[in-house]
Amino acid sequence: MSDLRLGIAGLGTVGVGVVKLVNDRQMAYNQMFGTTMSITAVSARTKGAERGVSLDGYAWFDDARELAKSPDIDVFVELIGGDEGIAKEAVINALEAGKHVVTANKALIAKHGVMLAKLAEANNVALMFEAAVAGGIPIIRVMSQSVVANEITHLAGIMNGTCNYILTTMEKEGRDFADVLADAQAKGYAEADPTFDVGGIDTAHKLAILTSLAFGTEVNFDSIYIEGIEKITAADIRNADAMGYRIKLLGMALKTETGIEQRVHPALVSKSSPIAAVDDVNNAVYIESKMLDGIMLEGKGAGEGPTASSVVGDILQILRGFIEPAFIMPTEKLKPYEKARMNRHEGGYYIALSVKDKVGALAAISERMAEASISIDSLIQQKAESDEGVIPVTLLTAETSEREIQDVLKKMDADGFLAAESRVIRIEKFS
């Protein structure tokens, strides 16, 4: 390939990391591939901001949409973020102008990936987004190249470092969610508005992309069932620990008889499983296939270094001439997404109940479980909370269905013995 000229839009943490990495390794890249790669233009919200890196010699564009169309670039690197507005318009401009696009924007790909991939195919250019999922973990390359010969049946992952840090700290220090979240915000691990992270939306964006790659379907973010970690308590984590589990926020996708099931929610995972050992801000992605059984990749899921490394890795793929369909196969071959029925999900469940301290309450709860043929594997009953007359009871069930759990909880609530909404956490098994 001839010389490759880069235009970078967005000079936040990742954008600055890309500038540093290209500058530091530019000579090595040129020697490795026998051609040159260089940054020629940049764009950001504020030109004069102190970024800790020199922008001398780069053309400046106030508007990323104009940079995307510039005849002086070959690759448009979009690091602005967001699924609408300037980021989307600039990427469309670049593809229509025949520019390759590299992005770390998971929201954009989760919402508009198929449309953008069709546009890339029509203009014979690349759309690459390794950095959009799990930071420095090369999961997209592994799925598109290393395990592409296999039929993937199940994937799951810890895909948000903020949530993993909060849950890890809650466990280590015995503190509640709100307290640890405030610390995470003070340390810069969580945003001032943490909704996208702790509410599971960030994980869902990444899951939507991986689901398409795994099962050859069109990306469908809107079909994902999403729960965050806001309701997880220190007591839940202590009880899970006593029962041999840890709590993680997981994004999961699997094939079922009724379609593809996509879920994001907290889950109990056995302490003996590899994914249970993934702590702090680290990410991990687990893939199960018929020939490989289960494999897991772990590493840093965010930050300047890991994410910039994935961005530049995509650029180098373009430099080497590896131009492939964005979702492994041409968009015309992607199957329509068929959503599985969530109530058919089967597995064990952790149920935290606040039971009124009344005669017959516990017997009534046991009777309801028996009526539904739901076996109880473990039970933790704590002392009544004197101020409120409430007994905290934690149940661990054998395998049952989502529908049966929801039905029995409705009946328990109607009986009038529960003092608060029950907390239900699914148990997930890994080979």
Residue 253 identity: A
What burial class does residue 62 get, using C-beta atoms within 10 Å of its C-beta: 0-12 exposed, 13-18 middle, 19+ buried?
Answer: exposed
* Beta-ladder partners of 380: 394
Tell me whether strands 59-61 and 37-43 are parallel, antiparallel or unpaired: parallel
> Which amino acid, residue 286?
Y
Length of the chain: 431
Please tell me which residue in 88, 106, 206, 248 is annotated as part of the active site.
206
Residues whose CB is less than 8 angstroms from the CB of residue 376 and which lie 6 or more positions away in sequence, other chains included: 366, 369, 395, 396, 397, 398
251 close to 202: Cβ distance less than 8 angstroms: no
Q: How many CB atoms lie within 10 A of CB 72?
A: 10
Beta carbons within 10 angstroms of residue 205's beta carbon: 27
DSSP state for residue 197 in the 8-state scheme:
H
Q: Which residue has the tokens 């691990």?
A: 189
Q: How many CB atoms lie within 10 A of CB 384?
A: 14
Rounded Cα distance, 146 and 120, in Å: 23
Dist CA 194 CA 201 (whole Å): 10
Tell me which DSSP letter residue 335 carries: B
CB count in 10 Å sphere of residue 229 = 23
Q: Is 206 a catalytic residue?
A: yes
Do residues 167 and 269 make contact, with C-beta atoms less than 8 angstroms apart? no
- Residues carrying an active site annotation: 206
